[in-house]
Structure 1
Amino acid sequence: MPDDQSRFRRRLTLYYSLFTLGLLGFVGMMSLLERSSSDALWLGYVFLFVTIAIYACIGLICRTSDLTEYYVAGRRVPGVFNGMAIAADWMSAASFIGLAGIVFASGYEGLAYVMGWTGGYCLVAFLLAPYLRKYGGYTIPDFLAARYGNGRPGGNFAVRGIAVLAASLCSFVYLVAQIQGVGLVVTRFIGVEFAVGVFFGLAGILVCSFLGGMRAVTWTQVAQYIMLIVAFLAAVSMIAWKHHHQLLPQLGYGPLLAQIDREERRLDQDPAERAVRKFYADKAAALQIRIARLPQSFEEERDALTARLESLRVRNAPLREIKELERERLAYPRDAAEAHQQWTQMRDDALARSLPSKSSTEPFPAASEGERDAKRLNFVLLVFCLMVGTASLPHILTRLYTTPSVKETRNSVAWAVFFIALLYVSAPALAALVKVEFLQHLVGTPYAELPQWVVQWRKVDPPVFTLRDVNGDGIVQWAEILIQPDMIVLAAPEIAGLPYVISGLVAAGALAAALSTADGLLLTIANALSHDVFYHMVDRQASHQRRVTTAKVLLLGVALFASYVTSLRPGNILFLVGAAFSLAASSFFPVLVLGIFWRRTTAAGAVAGMAAGLGVAIYYIFVNYPFFTRMTGIFGDRWFGVDPIASGAFGVPAGFIVAIVVSLLTPRNAPVIDRLVGYLRKG
C-alpha cells in the first residue's frame, strides 16, 4: 500500500508539472499572437473557453459512480495535493477578486480578511482536522449525528436534520457569491448580460462536479489552484516590474504606501478636490432633510415624478427622455419605509465621498473618536467571525476526509496555509500598485482623454466603475471616481497598461477561483441532502448507485436555483462570503468544539445550540442588511454598532451558552458516546 501511494504521488506530480509547463507555454503563445493582431479582445474568449474545456476534460476522465470516490475521492489524496485542493476550494471569488479590492477601498481595515482567513486555518489544524479525519464519515452532519446519537443506527435525526439545514444554508449563501463572481468575469470578458453570464458560468461549474463528485472536483481544483496562483503572481510581478522595477513587491512595498500617503495629503489640499467633496457634503445634507421630512417628502417627490412623466407623454417628448424618467420612477421607493432605507444609504455614501481620503495608511479613520471605536470593534469582530467561520465551513471540513491518514490530513492543512499565503501576501501589494496607478495616471486626466480601459469598464452591468464631472472642470478628481472593489483585480492589467494576454490570464484565474469553490459548495449541499437526508432519514435500503444518482439530481437542482438567486443581485461578493462565514460559525463551531473536547455535551444541547446560534445570526442579518430590509420593510437596530457581516459575534456565544446550559440540564450521554470521544481524543 505505501508503495502504491508513492507511485500515485509521483504520477500526480508528473501530470501537474506538465500541466503547469503547458499553461506557461500557452500564455507565451497567446502573447506572440497578440503582438501580431490588431484586436486582442478575442484573447478573453480563448482563455475562458480553453480553461473551462480543460476542467471539463478532467471531470469527464474522473467520472465515477463509486460511493466512496464520489463522496470523499476514495480517501487517497496525498497531503500536498489535498493542500492545493483545499487552497483552491478556499480561495474563492472573494479572495481572488475581492481581497485586493477591499484593501484598495478601505486600506488598513481590509487586512481583517487576511488575518481572519489565515488565522482560521490554525484553528482547523489544531482543533478539528485530526479528530474529524480519525472519525471518517462522509459529511459534517454525519459526524455530528454519530457524536450525539447515543449509539443509535444512523445517529440522532434531530441533530442530523438541523446540521443539514445549517450546512445547506451557509454553503448556498457562499455559492451565490461564487456564481456572482463568475457572472462578473464572463460579463466583462465576453460581453454578455450579467444574467446570461451567470448561467454560462453554471455550465462550467456543473461539468466538473456533476459526473465525478469529489473525485473529479479534487483533481480539477488542483489544476484550478495552479491556474489562479500563476495568474495572480504574474499580474503582481509584471505591474511592479513595469512601473517600479520590482520583481517581488510582496517583500517591500513600504515606499508605495508612503507615495500613496503623500498623494492623498496633496489631494486633501487641492481646491478642485475640495469643491467635489463640498458637492457631496451638500448632497448628504439635502438627503438628511428629505429623511427628516418623511413621509411627506416621499409623497411629494413621488407625485412630482409622476407629474413630470405624464407631462412628457402628453407633449410627445423624445422617447429617450421618457424612458429615462420611467426608469427613475421604477427605481423610486415603494413606500416611506423603503425611502428611509434607500435615502439613508445614499446619504451615507455621499458623506463617505465628502470626507478626506486618508483611509489607505491611517488605521480606523473617522470624524470622531466614537466612530473610530466602532470601526475598531467591527475590525476585531470581523476577524473573529472569519477565523471561527473558517474552522466551521462544511465544504472545507469535508476535504479533511479525503486523505489516506490523520498524518496526511495534518500535512494537507499545513500545505494549504502555505499555498493560501502565496496569494494573501500578494493581495495588499497589488492593491497598493493599482492605487498608485489611479492617483498618478487617472486623477488629473481630462475627461476628453480618458484611457480605453475606463471606457470598457464603464459599460459593465451591473455598474462597477463610474465617473462624473461633478465640478464641471473637465478634469478627473479622486472624489469623482466610484469603484466597486470587485473590479480592481480584473482591471489591474489594463489599468497598468500590460498586454491584454495578462488580462485574459487574470480572468481565467478569477474564473478558476470561483469555479473551484462553487464546485465544492455544490457538492457539499448535494451530498448532505443525498447522504444525510435521503439515505439516513428517508431510505436506508437505497443502493450505492441510487444514492449517487440522487446526489447528481440534487446537485443540478441546487445549481439552477442558486443561479436564479444570483441573477437577483442580492449583494456584493465580500458581504455574501462574510455572511456565510458568520452563519457557519454560529451553527457549527460551538457543537464541533464541545463535541470533541467536552464529553458532557448532549444531543439536546447540540440541537439547541445550533438552533440558537443559527437563529441569532439569521435574525441579525435579516433586520440589518439592505437586501432584506428593502423586501420586507423590517428594520432593526445594530447591536453595539456591529455590522451585519459580523453577525457571528452574537451567534457563536449564543450557541456555546445554550448548548452548555441545555447539556447540563439533560441526562448524560450513553457510554458508547464517551468511548467515541475518548477514541477521537486518544493520541
Structure 2
Amino acid sequence: MSDVLAGPEGAVADAPVSEGSGSLILAGISTAGIAAPAVLLLSLPGLVFVAGFDHLAYGLGLLAGVVLAGLLIAPRMRRAGGATITDALFRRFGRATAILAAIVIVFVVLPMLAVEFTFIGLLAETGLGLPLIVALGGAFVLSAAGATLLTDRAFRWLSVLAYLLLAASLLVPLVLLALKAHGLGVPHFAVPETLTSIATLEEKLVENGLVDFDTFSVHAKPFARLTGLDLFALLVSVVLGVAVLPHLTATLAAGTRRSAIRLSGAWTALFVMLLLLTVPALAAYAKLAIYNAVADGTPLASLPAWLEAPLKAGVAHVHGTSLAMLDAVAKAVGAGVEDPSAIADRLALHAFDLEERWRALAPETQEAVAAAARAITAGQVTAWEAYVSTVLPAAATAAGNEAATLSQAALVIEPAGLLLALPALSGVPGVGAVLFIAGLLVAAIVAVVAQVRGLMTIANIDTDVSRKGRPLLVSILVLAVVALAAGTAMLRPHDLVEIIVASLSLAAAGLFPVLALGLAWRRATAAGAVLAILVGAGVTLYYDIGIQVAPAAFYRTWAPLSNASESAIEEFDALETEASEGESDEAKATALASLETLARGTATRAGLANWLGIDSASGGVFGLPLGLAVLVLVSLLTSRRRARDAQP
C-alpha cells in the first residue's frame, strides 16, 4: 500500500500476520484481548447484576459485532484495497469521504478514550491508592509510548497478555464465589441451582419490604428493565458499532486473503465468547452473596468490608451516600466551606454526579455528612469509621430505615462497583486483590493503546500532500486527542457504559452504511457516501446531544414522537408554568431545573425527551436507516466515480 505511517499503521498494512492455523489462533487470542473497550467488557458482570438477563444484550451485541467485523466489514475493506477504514473509503469514494469518515472516527474514539482513562483512574486511585492525576498521567505516557513505539509483533503479544488478564479477572472471582456457595465443582454447571436460590431470596426480600421497585428487577425475568424496542435499539447500536471499530477492523483486515480474514474473525469471536460465558455465572454468584447479606439483616453499623472499595470510588451508594462524597465534603470543609449550597458547588467541581446526589440528601443527612467531615479533618476518626457511625445512621433515619439494616432499597451498586467489590466479596487475599487491580489496569491500558493505534490509522489515506513530515504530524495530533481524553477523565464523567454505547451508536450510524453497503454496491457514488455519513452521524449526534444538553427544548420540538405518559406530560406543563410565572426568581430557577431533569430522565425514571421511548445513547437506530436510505437514493441520482487500486 502506498501511504502507510510508521509504527502501528505500517504493521497493519505492510506486515500481515502469517495465515497458518497456529498463527490465526494466536491472532484470534490477541484480537480478542483488544476487541472491546475494557470498560464495557469488565462492566458486563455488573450490568447483569443490576438488571438481570436484560443486560446480557450488551455481551451478545459485543460478540455479534466481532463476528460481523470479521465476516463482513474487514473482507470488504480488503477487497476495496485498504487495510484501514479511511484508506478503503478513499480508494472507493475519494478524499472527501475518507476525511469525513476520519472526523467521525475521532468523535467516536475520543469519548471512548475518556471513559477508558476514567476507568483506569478509578482502579488506580481506589485499588492502588495513587492520586488521580498521577494515575492518568502515567496511563497517558504508557498508552502514548505503546501506540508509537511498539512493533506490531510486540503489541500482538501484549494483546495476548491482556486477554489472559481479562480472563483471570473474571474466572478467579467466579471460582472463589462458587466455592463458597457450592463447594468444589465447575461453577458454570451450578448456575441453575444458583438462579433458584436467587429467586427464593428475591421473594424473601420483596415480602420483607427490603426492595425499591424503581431499582429492583427479577434476575431471570426477560424485559424487566428493557422493552423489546429498547433491546432492539441497544443491539443495533452495539453490534454495528463494534463491527466498524477502527482498531478491530484494521487488525482483522491485515490478512492478505479474505478467507483468512474471515477465519481470523471466527477465532476472535470464539475467544471473546469464552470470556462472555463467565459473565452470567459471575453475576449470579455475586448477586447470591450480596442478597444473602441483605436477607440476613446485616446492620449498617457492620457494613461488609467488600463495600469499602466501591463506596470509596463513588460507584456504590448506601441511602444516597458514599465514601467518595464524604471525602469530597471533607476537602470542602477543610477549605472552610460549611454552607450546604457552597458545598454543592465544590462537589460539582469534583465529579459530575456528586452535586446532584448531595442536593438530593435530606438536610439532616447533609449535616451528618458535614459533621463526619469535620471529625475526619480534625483527625479524630478514619473516613470509614465516620461514615459507618455518623453518616449511615442519619441517612437510614431520613430514608425511613428504622432498623438501620442493609437492604436492596438502600444499596445501589453501579456496574463498575461490582468489579471493585469482587476481590473482597470472593475472598481474594490482600496481595491477590492488589494483583487483581494491577491486572485490570494492564488490560485497560492495552485496550487504550489499541484504540490509539486505531485512531492513527485514519491518516492512512493516499493523498497528494507531501508525506515527508506527515507521520510525525499525525502522531502529534493523535496524542493531542489522547491528552484531551485524559484531561476529560479528570472531570470524572459518570454513566461510563452509556457513553460507550453512545460512541458505538455514532459509529454504527456514521460508518456502517458506507462500509457494509457502499464498499460492496457497485452503483454507490461518492456523493451518496458523503451524504450518508453526514445524515447518519448528524441525526445520531442531534438525538444524543439534544436530549442530554437541552432535554426540555427537545421534548417541546418532538412531543408527538415522545412516549411520555399523561401524568408526566401534566407534570411537565405544571413545571413549565412555574418556571415562567413563579413568585420569585429562586422558585423559577428551581422549577426550570426540575423541568430539565424531568425531560432528561434519571437512572430510575425515563425522561420525556425521546423518540418512541428510545434511550439517547441508542440514537444510532434512527441515524442508521436514514444513512442507508440516503446512500441508495443519492447514488441512484448521481454519477459513479471509478474506484482506485481495488483488489479483485
Instruction: Assess if the C-alpha contact under 8 Å between 2:306 and 2:422 holds in 1.
Output: no
Please give the per-residue CA displacement for 1:148-198, whole angstroms capped at 9, x wherever unaligned.
Answer: 1xxxxxxx2211110110111111122122112111111111223444433
Residues 249 and 429 in structure 1, CA contact (< 8 A), matched pair in contact too: yes
The match for 1:237 among 175, 193, 197 is 175
Write the distance in 1 (CA, Å) between the matches of 2:82 and 2:534: 23
Alignment match of 2:610 (pick from 617, 638, 642): 638
TM-score with structure 1 length normalisation? 0.70
Q: Equivalents in 1 of 2:151, 2:92: separation in Å?
A: 26
Q: How does 1:94-113 map to 2 (within 5 A)?
A: 94-113=39-58
Partner of 2:366: none
Distance in 2 of aligned mates of 1:505 and 1:244:
26
Q: Name the SS for the 1:402 alignment partner.
A: coil
627 and 556 in structure 1: CA distance in 2 versus 1, 3 angstrom threshold: farther
Partners of 2:437 and 2:550 in 1: how far apart? 28
- Alpha-carbon distance in 2 for matches of 1:173, 1:435: 31
- Quick one: distance in 2 between partners of 1:411 and 1:660? 31
CA contact (8 A) 1:137 1:143 kept: yes
Return the match for 1:208 from 133, 143, 146: 146
Conservation of the 8 A alpha-carbon contact between 2:76 and 2:515: no
Match of 2:301 among 448, 473, 476: 448
The Cα shift of 1:458 comes to: 2.2
Is residue 435 of structure 1 aligned with residue 282 of structure 2?
no
Match of 1:492 in 2: 422
Residue from 663, 668, 673 that aligns with 2:635:
663
5 Å-filtered alignment, 1:460-539, equals 460-461=313-314, 466=322, 468-469=395-396, 470=399, 471-528=401-458, 530-532=459-461, 536=463, 539=465
Query: Which runs of structure 2 are paired with 1:71-470 in the superposition (5 Å)?
Result: 71-72=12-13, 74-76=15-17, 78-148=23-93, 156-212=94-150, 214-271=152-209, 273=210, 277=212, 352-353=214-215, 357-365=216-224, 375-443=227-295, 444-461=297-314, 466=322, 468-469=395-396, 470=399
Counterparts in 2 of 1:33-48, with a 5 A limit?
A: none
CA distance in 1, matches of 2:309, 2:252: 43
Amino acid corresponding to residue 74 of structure 1 in structure 2: A
Between Structure 1 and Structure 2, the one with more helix by share is 1
Report the residue type matching 1:584 in the other structure: A
Shift of 1:406: 3.1
- Please give the residue correspondences for 1:595-634 in structure 2 after superposition, counting only pairs within 5 Å: 595-625=518-548
Number of residues paired by the alignment? 512
The within-5 A match list for 1:579-598 is 579-598=502-521
CA deviation after TM superposition for structure 1 residue 438, in Å: 0.5
For 1:484 and 1:651, the matched residues in 2 are separated by 29
Partners of 2:48 and 2:305 in 1: how far apart?
Answer: 25
CA contact (8 A) 2:316 2:411 kept: no
1:504: how far off?
A: 2.9
Report the 3-state secondary structure (helix = DSSP H, G, I; strand = E; otherwise coil) of the residue aligned with 1:482.
Answer: strand
Deviates more, 1:132-141 or 1:565-574: 132-141
Q: In percent, how many aligned pairs have the same letter?
A: 28
Q: In 2, Cα distance between the equivalents of 1:425 and 1:117?
A: 13
Question: Please, which of 563, 568, 576 is the counterpart of residue 491 of structure 2?
Answer: 568
How far does residue 510 in structure 1 lie from its aligned partner after superposition? 2.2
The CA deviation at 1:362 is 1.6
Q: What's the CA shift for 1:254?
A: 1.2
Checking the alignment, whether the CA contact within 8 Å between 1:186 and 1:201 is kept in structure 2 is no
Q: Which residue of 2 aligns with 1:301?
A: none
What amino acid does structure 2 have at the position aligned with 1:92? P
Distance 1:382 1:393, change over 3 A: same
CA RMSD of aligned residues (A): 2.8
2:467 corresponds to which residue? 542
Partner of 2:476: 553
Deviates more, 1:506-515 or 1:129-138: 129-138
Whether 2:578 is the aligned partner of 1:649: answer no
Which letter maps to 1:413? G
Q: Distance in 2 between matches of 1:248 and 1:623?
A: 48
1:363 deviation in Å? 1.6
Q: Contact (CA 8 Å) 1:523, 1:555: kept in 2 or not? A: no
User: What CA distance in whole angstroms lies between the structure 2 residues aligned with 1:375 and 1:71?
Assistant: 41
In the superposition, relative to structure 1, how do residues 133 and 628 fare at CA in structure 2: closer, same or farther (>3 Å)? farther
1:323 corresponds to which residue? Answer: none
What is the alpha-carbon distance in structure 1 between the residues aligned to residue 309 and residue 56 of structure 2? 30
Aligned residue for 1:184, secondary structure, equals helix
Distance 1:195 1:224 in 2: 24
SS in 2 for 1:638: coil
State the Cα deviation string for residues 88-107 of structure 1 (Å, max 9, x = none).
11243234421111000011
Deviations 1:191-240, CA, capped at 9 Å, x for gaps: 23444433332233223212126554333212211222133222212221
- Shift in Å at residue 498 of structure 1? 2.7
C-alpha contact 2:83 2:254 (8 A) present in aligned 1: no
Residue 463 of structure 1: how far off its partner (Å): 5.8
> Alpha carbons of 1:218 and 1:247: their partners in 2 closer, same or farther (altered >3 Å)?
same
Indicate how the Cα distance of structure 1 residues 213 and 599 shifts in structure 2: closer, same or farther if over 3 A, else same: same
Residue 404 of structure 1 and its aligned partner are, at CA, apart by 4.8
Structure 2 counterpart of 1:75, one-letter code? P
> Does structure 1 retain, via aligned residues, the 8 Å contact 2:86–2:457?
no
User: Do the aligned residues in 1 keep the contact of 2:176 with 2:427 (CA within 8 Å)?
Assistant: no
Letter in 1 for 2:548: Y
Contact 2:34 2:162 in 1 (8 A): no
1:628/1:196 Cα in 2 relative to 1: closer, same or farther (>3 Å)?
Answer: farther
SS at match of 2:130: coil
Find the residue that maps to 2:412 and give its secondary structure. strand
User: Is 572-581 or 225-234 further displaced after alignment?
Assistant: 225-234
- Matched to 2:421, the amino acid is A
What amino acid does structure 2 have at the position aligned with 1:201? Answer: A
Given that residues 620 and 644 in structure 1 are in contact (C-alpha distance below 8 angstroms), is that contact kept between their aligned partners in structure 2? yes
Residue 659 of structure 1 and its aligned partner are, at CA, apart by: 0.9
C-alpha distance in 1, partners of 2:68/2:405?
50
